Amino acid sequence: MAERHVTIGWPEGLHARPASVFVRAVTASGAAVTIAKGDNPPVNAASMLAVLGLGAEAGQEVVLASADEGAEVALDRLARLVSEGLEELPEAV
């Protein structure tokens, strides 16, 4: 399983608009990705309700993970999106 430990770069954390950007990016990646905060169990990163339920704030670390073959590139791009607080999934890492 591939994973990335990422510090949230959006000033408002993973709430409302940033969560929507993140969930759309996960869905567009085509990979089955989970996200976890702290010792909490991982949740489906393609679920808006699950992501909002994390209550992840700016500066907190989350773990993105996927067991899909070839998920390394998708996780790199998603990690960059989250860490830099981007508005859309980057084309390249």
Provide the greatest CA pair distance for the chain. Answer: 32
Catalytic residue among 3, 15, 40, 89: 15
Query: Does residue 5 have an active-site annotation?
Result: no
Nearest to 34 by CA among 22, 46, 24: 46
DSSP 44: E
**Other CB atoms within 10 Å distance of the CB of residue 20:** 14
The pair of structure tokens assigned to 89 is: 């999934």
SS3 assignment, position 68 = coil
Annotated catalytic residues are 15
